[in-house]
Amino acid sequence: MTQIEVSFDEETLRKVLLGDKGAEVLLEKVMNEVLQAEMTEHLDRQKFVWRIGTETVQREE
Q: Would the pTM of this model clear 0.85, i.e. be above it?
A: no
Classify residue 51: in a domain, yes or no: yes
Q: State the pLDDT at residue 59.
A: 58
Q: Where in the sequence is the domain holding 42, given as residue range(s)?
A: 20-58
Classify residue 15: in a domain, yes or no: no
Q: State the pLDDT at residue 44.
A: 73
How many domains would you assign to the chain?
A: 1
* Tens digit of each residue's pLDDT (9 = 90 or more) over 3-58: 788 888 898 888 888 988 888 988 998 899 889 888 888 777 766 665 555 555 55
Q: State the pLDDT at residue 4.
A: 80
Give one word for 51, left, alpha or beta, with left for phi > 0 and alpha for psi -120 to 50: beta
Classify residue 7: in a domain, yes or no: no
Q: State the pLDDT at residue 47.
A: 64
Q: How many CA atoms lie within 13 A of 42 on its CB side?
A: 6
